[in-house]
A and B are shown apart, each in its own frame.
Chain A
Amino acid sequence: AVPQKKDPFPGQAPIPVERVKKFVRGDVDKVDALSAWIGQYTLLMVESAWLDTDIWFDILFSLLQYFNLNLSQFGPYRLDYSRAGRHLLLGGRRGHVSCIEWQSKALISEINVMEAVNDVKWLHNEAMFAVAQKKWLYVYDSKGVELHCIRKFNDVLRMEFLPYHFLLATASSSGFLQYLDVSVGKEVTAIGTKMGRLGVMTQNPHNAVIHLGHPNGTVSLWSPNQKEALVKMLCHRGAVRSLTVDKTGMYMVTSGLDRKLKVYDLRAFKPLQSYFLPAGAACLSLSQRGLLCASMGDVVQVYRDVWGTSVKKPYMAHRVRGAVAGLAFCPFEDVLGVGHAEGFTSMIVPGAGEANFDGMALNPYASLRQRQEWEVKTLLEKVQPDLIGLDPSMLGTVDRATWQQKHQERVQALGFDPLAHEKFKPRRRKKGRSSSGAVEKRKRKVAHEDQRVKKDKYYFH
């Protein structure tokens, strides 16, 4: 049995009455356990200037969202929230994997895989998850039943799931980036990056490009269509510790061993901001509303608006019980999940989650029927990996290059340019009707003729 520490101050802490008054309606004398608990945890809110205003939030719901899981036996915990934010997957380094419906604290399944666990990830729905174990990649059912052991994917350190492509991207310690199509179960491509151990990985949710951070300070961008990196950026003077990309695909936040936190514009690949940290942030996470969370050792700090104005101090800070190994914002809730050496902590971060979800896209309150229909629809519109590139809307642009090439070929074949026409020369009139202004006016009448599609002219298919 693991020796338990004795609490030197057993029972509830004494609560200041003024604090409780703020959050309890009616008679303050009738303070019950509920309000006592609220009073204690308002410590978190008081620091921030933003929350000095009186906001009434539903005590019941927020209470359910703040909790701690003491799991000190099985090592630092990696975590993953499902896409709708209802289910949470925890993976301890020493092999403990559990999935829970975190809002009701219902345990769906809990297993020990008897091997080191490097990373855990939900697949396309809450029925399956992938665990990167010491040697190979395993896929389990939500009940903990092992479905697949994929031996082609070995020494996987980090995983990212691309939901609209049904691709699981894995980064291995031997420098291989592999993509697995989870709908058909085939490996799409294995890219030998030749850049050493791939321990830092994230995806750009806007264009499904994988970002990898390297020990020489570079960040490389990969797509399954090319064997070379799409882009390589030098970001830090030391190793890149962690990186994250926001959901619009415009900003990338990286932190490195040079104790800097940098914000880059991803469209122009230019640095925007650079902040100094006491240590390199081991984990970074961006919420749906643009809150950045960085962890250094066992301290977790939340910053607002890192890419806008220069941030002077964090929005919130919290010390957890052990060194942080995993960090994730819950999708549609104001909650931050922290996986650390002593277990898991769920923190409330007001303003982190998107309040208005779209029922037809990700619906946390979907019924069984809605979920079934949604799964079929997303499978039908699964995007092929060929279309992954830096610009996701490339298919919607006009292909001018092909037209010009074909036109050149046509000119060569015919010997003359069939679309060429003489420049319009307006007639010179007498009696002062040919002043420069009048001539320009006559020219302007015909100026749009170039844009008109004439029936006699050809156009290519």
Chain B
Amino acid sequence: SISIQVRINQSSSLSSSIIHVLFSVPRNYDPTLHPFEVPREYTRALNATKLERVFAKPFVGSLDGHRDGINCMAKHSKSLSILLSGSCDGELKLWDLPKRKCVRTIQAHDGFVRGICSRFCGTSFFTVGDDKTVKKWNMETPGYGEREEPLSTILGKAMFTGIDHHQKDATFATCGQTVDIWDEQRSSPVRSFSWGVDSFSCVRYNPVETELLASCASDRSIVLYDMREATPLKKVVMKLRSNTLCWNPMEAYFFTCSNEDYNLYTYDMRRLNAPVTVHMDHVSAVLDLDYSPTGREFVSASFDKTIRIFRKDGGHSREVYHTKRMQHVICVKWSADNKYILSGSDEMNIRLWKANASEKLGLLSPREKEAHNYNQKLKEKFQHHPQLRRIARHRHLPRDIYKQRRELKEMLGSRRRKEKNVIKHSKPGSVPVVAERQKHVVNVE
């Protein structure tokens, strides 16, 4: 309904009447009043894509304070503002993320801090180190005058390389020479799994099927376990060793492992004969990865000094973060509110990045939200047009990585061309066509 306030000047001559109509905006959606819908929307989508690149400033800040390279990080299970990080000189630091300050420093181990995990209740956390100990610490800062002491210390037979805690029960798993399941009350493992393997680098509990575990072994394999069984379940052997693995928090039959052959592989735990997706884009060994709490994307940290964000089913990364000052990135975490990425590198800094590089942080007004949603939808609608794709995909890379990437692409291209030529010039059917994903698994046991 239109509200019109009409004021007519009561002057002598009719021709000098002035009418002021005060506003509410009437709408008429007749398409003939709005011509050129598609070209105008296309222009708006183009502007939105360009502005997204203009506002893409992902680096938020850095946490400075460690005196040696950061080896591992852990999120607090209940709070968004606390981060735990362990460095290569045995130091453990607790950070207040909003203030970007270290609130507590503990000399936890002699040698590297190999793994940290926080307990599901959020009151304590566990660390493992090179000195063959598992230590349990209180999450609360000790009072004035009290010394920094672990709640309990467990001495093991060999060095531990990783730790992960169960989602609900008071059990945790460590990996080193064997994968051990511990009860918090006992000082020796409840169960020990091994499969003729030298060492394990990483162990992770499945967040949904809480009795399942997976670990990365040094014989280039990934082993699946069930806590209730006596022996490991299954093993898939690949061409090169995996460094870490992470379960998809939403679709927990998928896990992704970061491999030394510059790729990441997503497997379905029910079908280990071939990975579901091969994620290719790094130019050096991939060291760590973490899934977003939505389960739709994950972030990977690599020896090539970059962090890449992949979509869960994307063969190539959607985003790459790098800085001149950031050297080899050892560990990476995606914050539990889906907004930030934390990366720890071997030049003693932890960096805080935005998960969406051009996102405006803070509270948005309803108009801003609406404009943002409209722009997102427009970009999605026209994403396949070549001009927009070109702009949206464009990322600046350091020269070395750009050249290395080009070289790898050429190598891969020539390999594929050779395969195609072999197929083309042989008797049809004599040479099998092998998909990319089938090429990476050696064996499933």
Contacts and interface: CB of A to CB of B under 8 A. Distances in A.
Interface in B34-56: 34-40, 42-44, 47
B423 A415 contact: yes
Interface residues of B, number: 38
A461 B14 contact: no
A275 interface: no
A252 B335 CA distance: 62
A104 interface: yes
A256 B41 CA distance: 39
Contacts of A64: 14-15, 17
Nearest to A378: B40
Interface of B: 8, 14-18, 21, 23, 25-30, 32-40, 42-44, 47, 382, 384-385, 389, 420, 423-425, 428, 433, 435
A63 B17 CA distance: 11
Contacts of B425: 415
Interface in A360-410: 360-363, 365, 367, 370, 380-384, 387, 392-396
Given A381-B44, A415-B428, A416-B428, A365 B23 contact: yes
Given A63-B14, A381-B40, A413 B27 contact: no
A383 B40 contact: yes
A393 B37 CA distance: 7
A16 to B, nearest CB: 22
A365 B23 CA distance: 8
A247 B40 CA distance: 17
A363 B37 CA distance: 18
A318 interface: no
Nearest to A416: B428
Nearest to A363: B25
A359 interface: yes
Interface stretch (A135-143, A174-182, A299-307, A350-358): A350-358
A359 to B, nearest CB: 3
A396 B38 CA distance: 6
Nearest to A412: B424
Contact of B43 (A104, A384, A414, A456): A384
A358 B28 CA distance: 5
A208 interface: yes
A362 B32 CA distance: 12
Nearest to B25: A359
A395 B42 contact: yes
A354 B33 contact: yes
A383 B385 contact: no
Given A365-B23, A413-B420, A461-B389, A383 B428 contact: no
B23 A367 contact: yes
A43 to B, nearest CB: 20
The 4 closest A-B pairs by CB, nearest first: A359-B25, A415-B424, A396-B38, A383-B39
A323 to B, nearest CB: 28
Interface in A199-253: 205-206, 208, 247-248
What size tier do the contact residues of chain A reach?
35 or more
Contact of B26 (A63, A208, A247, A356): A356
Contacts of B47: 380-381
Nearest to A365: B21
Contacts of A63: 14
Contacts of A267: none
A164 interface: yes
Given A361-B34, A387-B39, A356 B28 contact: yes
A358 B423 contact: no
A359 B17 contact: no
Interface of A: 34, 60, 63-64, 104-105, 164, 205-206, 208, 247-248, 354, 356-363, 365, 367, 370, 380-384, 387, 392-396, 413-416, 418, 456, 461
Contacts of A392: 35-36, 38-39
B439 to A, nearest CB: 15
B16 A104 contact: yes
A381 B423 contact: no
Contacts of A205: 35
A271 to B, nearest CB: 23
A210 to B, nearest CB: 15
Given A206-B35, A383-B43, A413-B420, A357 B28 contact: yes
A104 B424 CA distance: 80
Contact of A382 (B28, B43, B382): B43
Contacts of B28: 354, 356-358
Given A60-B14, A357-B28, 7 more contacts: A205-B35, A247-B32, A354-B28, A362-B33, A381-B47, A392-B36, A414-B423
B38 A395 contact: yes
Contact of B27 (A164, A359, A367): A359
B36 A164 contact: yes
A361 B423 contact: no
A456 to B, nearest CB: 7
A461 B384 contact: yes
A357 B26 contact: yes
User: Which of B16, B43, B385, B435 has the most chain A CB atoms inside 10 A of its CB?
Assistant: B43
24 contacts: A34-B14, A64-B15, A104-B15, A104-B16, A105-B16, A205-B35, A247-B32, A354-B28, A356-B26, A358-B34, A360-B27, A365-B21, A367-B23, A380-B43, A381-B43, A384-B43, A387-B39, A392-B35, A392-B36, A396-B38, A413-B424, A414-B420, A414-B423, A461-B384
A104 B17 contact: yes
A413 B28 CA distance: 53
A414 B23 contact: no
Nearest to A418: B433
Given A64-B17, A164-B35, A384-B43, A395 B385 contact: yes
Nearest to B16: A104
B32 A105 contact: no
B82 to A, nearest CB: 40
A175 to B, nearest CB: 28
Nearest to A383: B39
Contacts of B14: 34, 60, 63-64
A456 B40 CA distance: 36
User: Which of B30, B423, B425 has the most chain A CB atoms inside 10 A of its CB?
Assistant: B30
A28 to B, nearest CB: 20
Nearest to A67: B15
Contacts of B420: 413-415
B35 A104 contact: no
Nearest to B277: A455
Contacts of A461: 384, 389
Contacts of B32: 206, 247-248
A104 to B, nearest CB: 6
Contacts of B17: 60, 64, 104
Given A247-B32, A358-B34, A395 B39 contact: yes
A361 B39 contact: no
A385 to B, nearest CB: 10
A114 B37 CA distance: 42
Contacts of A60: 8, 14, 17
